[in-house]
């Protein structure tokens, strides 16, 4: 019998998935069942009650900078690998498309 089929990615993935599900199920069987306690899900920090409020983190500027640098790196890599000759004018069209995509990054959608 050919046992190399067990090393194929789909079979190996399913085997790992079944092993993990078995370990998870065994853990659920042997866990200690807790009793509900008042205030268990209340926010608590540094020995004081923490007022529950929704916090907004400002990652928008980070994502804009990350997308900007990604677009610039792809554009530079593409332009640097354009072959010379009569078809090199396509690089200018590509640069115009990159400039348009970068200008859309700085539009305020809020």
CA atoms lying within 13 Å on the CB side of residue 85: 4
Mean of pLDDT over the chain: 82
Please report which confidence band the pLDDT of residue 94 belongs to, taking 50, 70 and 90 as the band edges. confident
CA–CA dist 49, 43 (Å, integer):
7
Per cent of the chain over pLDDT 70 is 84
CA–CA dist 68, 104 (Å, integer):
10
For residues 71 and 91, is the Cβ–Cβ distance under 8 A?
A: no
For 24, phi then psi, to 5°, come to -65, -45
- Report domain extents, the chain: 60-105
Q: What is the pLDDT of residue 15?
A: 93
Q: Structure tokens of 105?
A: 């990054």
pLDDT tens track for 22-59: 999 999 999 988 888 877 777 766 766 666 676 667 77
Give the H or E element holding residue 64: helix 60-80
For residues 71 and 105, is the Cβ–Cβ distance under 8 A?
A: yes
3-state secondary structure at position 44: strand
């Amino acid at each position: 019998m050919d046992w190399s089929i067990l090393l194929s990615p789909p079979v190996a993935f399913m085997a790992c998935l079944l092993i993990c599900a078995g370990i998870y199920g065994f853990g659920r069987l042997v866990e200690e069942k807790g009793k509900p306690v008042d205030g268990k899900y209340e926010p608590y920090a540094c020995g004081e009650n923490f007022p529950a409020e929704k916090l907004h983190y400002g990652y928008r500027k980070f994502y804009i900078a990350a997308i900007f640098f990604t677009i610039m790196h792809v554009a530079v890599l593409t332009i640097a690998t354009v072959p010379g000759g009569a078809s090199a004018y396509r690089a200018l069209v590509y640069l115009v498309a990159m400039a348009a995509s970068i200008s859309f990054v700085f539009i305020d959608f809020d």
